[in-house]
Amino acid sequence: MLLSLCGMIWAIQSQAQEKCATQTLLQNIIDKHPENTALRNHYRAHSKNQAEVFAKTAKFKTTAQVKIPVVFHVILTQSEITQLGGTGTILQRAIDQINVLNEDFNKANNDRIKAPSAFAPLQGSLDISFGLAHRTPTGGSTSGVEIKTTTLAGFSAFADNGNTPKYVSSGGLDAWDPNQYLNIWIVNITGSGGILGYCVPPSFLSFPQQYTISDLGVVIDYGAFGRRATTINFFSPSTNDRGRTATHEVAHYFELEHTFGNNASCPGNGDVDDLIADTPPQADNVFGSPTFPRTDACSPIFPGVMFMNFMDYTDDTAMYMFTQGQANFVQSKLTTGILKSITEHPDILDWPTSVLDIDLEHQLNIFPNPSTGKFTLGLSKASDLKQVIVLNAVGQTVYALQPHNSTITNYDLDLSGMSRGVYMVQCTFGTGIVTRKIVLQ
């Protein structure tokens, strides 16, 4: 399906310079295998019918929120890792990115209130919950983030149909079973004219000449990974610092298309419509932070185009909604195939369980406590500490640390920028989880 059918490339450039990488990749496939045109059209027609049937019956159903395990495969040079703030900050960015997905996909993002009155009633929740995977395919424990230091300058979105980051053999990291995990690769996307992300969704398996199940997933440029926490955080370009590149690309994974379709023309030629009835026709993509209303040749009268939709190209601060039609479409896709299978493994979100040695409770100390913000987490002996997170009073993660040296027994934490109050320090070991209270005053 997916109108933006070959790579779902999101090129963030000035509109005058915009070159549709998606269309280029799609055209390459059609040029090599012309029979793909008919196959794609058949798939899109079936998808539209499937979504329409679901929409008619959805009001009689209770849609339970499904849970999706996510693993981030980070492949960067040491200097790029340093740009992001180091391995600990990368883990925090991954947590922040998961939070963004959960907010945006469930109509829980604070900026949804910015939707103009003409479009506000159309807002919809996709009812999908994301979480970092905590079990590997072999049953071991994981933070949900694997980091590989590379000497490669980056990865092209076009080389090998965008699949080079997805294989150890080409310098990347192999996917974890796409039937159980949503794989997201974080890389430096190079030589591709400002592209920040792309996606290979399950529908691409209709083109076996180019894609196999191991290619499924999302690729995000490291400059658009996570959400800005401080003014010194690295983002490039800085207008994409709210994590919405991942929102856009992950939505593609669940088969949503661009609101503006594939060509710079109005619906009617069969190739342009995004299959969603409540997104207005749109002649072309929209960049920057436009002022509402914005009209074009396809929607020339008020309220114009829905440029604030997550499936357009506006800045992160200018996009803040999915529609109910898009939600119904995605929900219809979760009923079969790989997209159904990926919802059936919520156990992957849990750390592997085992009997926790009672002595472990006495091997972890926090000092000083109470603290003004800077304190030390001390272990009486080196241990298999996997992850440290700090939770505030409402259970939100405000700090994260991923140890990479099993010989260290003391970890210095700095929460001096946090408000006064009680926080919980949660330490995950290979054999279990220990939680300690810290008071900031």
Residues with a catalytic annotation lie at 249
Written in H, E and C, the secondary structure of 31-86 is HHCCHHHHHHHHHHHHHHHHHHHHHHHHCCCCCCCEEEEEEEEEEECHHHHHHCCC
Q: How far lies 64's CA from each of 204, 325, 342, 346, in Å?
A: 27, 17, 15, 13
Query: Nearest-CA neighbor of 241 among 231, 229, 227?
Result: 227
DSSP-assigned letter for residue 371:
B
C-alpha span between 142 and 166 (Å, rounded): 19
C-alpha span between 299 and 280 (Å, rounded): 7
Q: Confirm if 125 and 329 have CB atoms less than 8 A apart.
A: no
- Residue 316 phi, psi (nearest 5): -55, -35
C-alpha span between 247 and 19 (Å, rounded): 21
- Residue 385 phi, psi (nearest 5): -70, 125
C-alpha span between 76 and 237 (Å, rounded): 18
Query: Nearest-CA neighbor of 334 among 184, 61, 126?
Result: 126
C-alpha span between 101 and 320 (Å, rounded): 12
Tokens 């990974």 belong to 225
Q: Confirm if 198 and 219 have CB atoms less than 8 A apart.
A: yes
Q: How far lies 287's CA from each of 290, 308, 343, in Å?
A: 8, 10, 33
Tokens 């969603």 belong to 276
C-alpha span between 155 and 165 (Å, rounded): 7
Query: Nearest-CA neighbor of 194 among 10, 46, 341, 31?
Result: 10
